[in-house]
């Protein structure tokens, strides 16, 4: 599997699936989640509401992942995952790693070959970018997946540098 990192806007990713750093409600929020919902259009919110009604009445759990179609985005699917919130005491690195491995399992179920990830947890959920990068890269490298290419699409030069260090093994 090819793994790379780039600076950019994940909502412009053109590939099979992009991962949304969602909150447990699946109904949109701030940061990456808000940007993805805004770019995808109302169809994404409608699909997320249907998921809540049918399968996740109490919300999606931390570290879990679920897919929807992508609405107006260039990707085919959006894989929603809920990162652990350090500010709420969710500090177990395994929970953060699960966001990546669960998302890749969902990608496999979809038949996705290209997947874009944001820096799950490294925004408002308070994970240090370097720690998030190390956990993310290790989880993706260790995953048994059919995905051929993972791109970390990162929102700032500082976060990009942290993920590039993790990719280089530093």
pLDDT per position as a tens digit, 125-166: 999 999 999 999 999 999 999 999 999 999 999 999 999 999
* Residue 128 falls in the annotated catalytic set: no
pLDDT of res. 170: 77
- Please tell me whether the overall predicted TM-score, pTM, comes out greater than 0.85 for this model: yes
Q: Where are the domains of the chain?
A: 2-167
Residue with tokens 């998302």: 103
pLDDT of res. 134: 98
In 44-75, which positions are buried (b, 16+ CB within 10 angstroms) versus exposed (e)? bbebbeebbeeebeebbebbbbbbbebbebeb
Tokens (6 digits) for 131: 């720690």
Query: From the candidates 9, 16, 33, 128, which is the catalytic residue?
Result: 33
- In order, the DSSP letters of 13-33 are --SSEEEEEE-TT-S--SHHH
- Give pLDDT tens digits for 24-66: 999 998 899 999 999 999 999 999 999 999 999 999 999 999 9
CA distances from 1 to 40, 82, 127, 146 (A): 28, 24, 26, 8
Domain with residues 2-167, CATH architecture: 3-Layer(aba) Sandwich (3.40)
Measured CA to CA, the distance from residue 83 to residue 166 in angstroms comes to 19
Q: With 90 as the cut, is the pLDDT of residue 96 above it?
A: yes
């Amino acid at each position: 599997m090819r793994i790379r990192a780039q600076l950019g806007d994940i909502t412009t990713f053109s590939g099979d699936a992009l991962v949304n750093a969602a909150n447990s409600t699946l109904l949109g929020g701030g940061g990456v989640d808000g940007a993805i919902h805004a770019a995808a259009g109302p169809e994404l919110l409608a699909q997320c509401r249907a998921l809540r009604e049918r399968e996740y009445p109490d919300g999606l759990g931390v570290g879990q992942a679920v897919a929807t179609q992508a609405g107006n985005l260039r990707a085919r699917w959006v894989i929603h995952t809920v990162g652990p919130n350090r500010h709420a005491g969710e500090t177990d690195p395994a929970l953060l790693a699960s966001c990546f491995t669960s998302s890749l399992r969902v990608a496999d179920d979809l038949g996705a070959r290209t997947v874009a990830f944001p820096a799950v947890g490294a925004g408002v959920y308070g994970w240090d970018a370097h720690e998030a990068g190390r956990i993310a890269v290790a989880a993706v490298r260790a995953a048994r997946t059919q995905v051929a290419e993972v791109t970390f699409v990162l929102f700032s030069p500082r976060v990009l540098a942290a993920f590039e260090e993790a990719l280089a093994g530093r």
